[in-house]
Structure 1
C-alpha cells in the first residue's frame, strides 16, 4: 500500500509560506488477472490494503466508483487472518464498527451507505482472500472481484478455489517466491511463447496457456 509522508510548513527548516512536501512511496504490485471465459480480477499483493473512492490521482489499492471517502477503510493481513479498520462508516453483517474487526469467510461488508462486498476466505491451504461485490459498484480499473493475494492463488474447478473455472479439469496455481511470481500446473505450460515443464516464472504482463486454459497478467 502506498505510504504518504508529509512535511508540514514550519518544520524541518521550512518557511511557513512554503507548501507541504509530499513523498509517496512505491506501492506493492497490483495487477489485473484476465482468465479466458471466466473474467477479470484485480489482484492486490500487499499485506495492508486501502479502499476508497476512485478519483484522479488516488493512491488506494482498491479504488471504487461509489459514494465513499478517498480513504474509507483498510484491510490488514496478520498471521493468515484479515482485519478491517474503518476510517469512515463501515458495517459488518449489518452492525456498524468503530475499530478493527476480524473478517471471516462469508462476512458482509458495507462501506458508506451502499457499497456492499462479501469477504471470502475458503481455501484451507492458502491465506489468500477474495472480495466480491454484492452491489453494482465496480473498481477502477474494472474487475469482477478483488483478490487479496498472500502466498498463492488457486484457479480451477473446485468451489473452494479462489477463482472457480468450471470447465477446467485441473488446478492452476499462481504463487509468490521472494519478490517473484510463478505459475504451476500438472502439465507443460507456455509462458510468453516459451514452453515450461509444469512451472515457470511470470512477468507482470505475462500470458500463460495450457491445453485447456489461458490467462494474462496486466500490471496496474
Structure 2
C-alpha cells in the first residue's frame, strides 16, 4: 500500500526545511508547480510588490483570490470578482471535488481532487492564461502527490506503466517507487529523500525537482 509508509500523527508533520514552492519537470509529461502552503493566493503580475503564489499573466489584482485547505475541505476566498461553478463569490465558498473557477472576466481554471486517498488538489489552466514561466498545472500539495497513468493521480503520466508517490514526512520530501529508482544516477532503495536540484529516474521515467 502506498500510504502505509507515510502515516504519522498530524503534529509530526513539518515542512520547515522544504521550500513552499517547487517545480517538477517531468520528461515527456510537462512542468508542474507544487505549492505546499495551506493558503495559496492567485493574482496578476506586479512589478513593485510581492506577487501571489500563482501569478498569472492576466488582468487580475495582485491577490485576486485565495484557495485555503482546511482539514479535509478546500475553500476559495474572493478578494476581487470571482465566479465558482457559475455563481458569483462575495466572500468565501466551498470547492467541490471538481469545480470551475473564473477570475475576473476571462481567466478560467479547474479545481480537482483526483484521489479519494489524498487531500492534495490539482489546479488546471482552462483559458490561455499562465504564469510567466512554463507550467502545465499546479498541485496544491497536502502530504502527498501521486504521479502515474491513471486518472486518480494528481499528475497523469499516460505513457508510464507504474505510479510514483511523493510525500512529506518530518522535514523531508520522499519519493517511493515499486520499481528501480535512481537519484542523480545512483541507485536508491525504498522510500528515498529527494532535494531540489536532484534528478530522479526509473527505467522509463525521469523528473527533476527545482525551487521556484
CA RMSD of aligned residues (A): 1.4
CA deviation map 1:78-135 (0-9, x unaligned): 1121100000011011111111111112210000111100001020111110111110
Q: Distance in 2 between matches of 1:110 and 1:179?
A: 35
The two structures have a TM-score, normalised by structure 1, of 0.85
Alignment of 1:55-70 (within 5 A): 55-56=46-47, 57-70=49-62
Instruction: Note if contact 1:188-1:199 (Cα within 8 Å) is conserved in structure 2.
Output: no
Structure 2 unaligned residues grouped into runs of 5+: 1-17
Structure 1 segments (4+ residues) deviating >4 Å: none
Correspondence for 1:192 among 165, 184, 190: 184
Correspondence for 2:175 among 169, 173, 183: 183
Q: Which residue of 2 aligns with 1:167?
A: 159
Q: Distance in 2 between matches of 1:207 and 1:55?
A: 32
The two structures have a TM-score, normalised by structure 2, of 0.88
Q: Distance in 2 between matches of 1:37 and 1:28?
A: 25
Q: Which residue of 1 aligns with 2:135?
A: 143
Q: Which residue of 1 aligns with 2:88?
A: 96
Shift of 1:185: 0.2
CA deviation map 1:123-171 (0-9, x unaligned): 0111110111110000132201111011000000111110111111111
Shift of 1:211: 0.8
Shift of 1:199: 2.1
Structure 1 unaligned residues grouped into runs of 5+: 1-26
Instruction: Note if contact 1:36-1:213 (Cα within 8 Å) is conserved in structure 2.
Output: yes
**Match of 1:118, SS?**
strand
Alignment of 1:18-33 (within 5 A): 29-33=20-24
Task: Point out which structure has higher relative CO (alpha carbons under 8 A, 6+ apart).
Answer: 2
Q: Which residue of 1 aligns with 2:211?
A: 219
Shift of 1:28: 5.5
**Match of 1:107, SS?**
strand
Q: Which residue of 2 aligns with 1:3?
A: none
Q: Distance in 2 between matches of 1:205 and 1:72?
A: 31
Alignment of 1:30-179 (within 5 A): 30-56=21-47, 57-179=49-171
Shift of 1:179: 2.2
Q: Which residue of 2 aligns with 1:5?
A: none
CA deviation map 1:27-47 (0-9, x unaligned): 952011111101101110000
CA deviation map 1:37-90 (0-9, x unaligned): 011011100001111112235341111110100111111101121100000011
**Match of 2:98, SS?**
coil
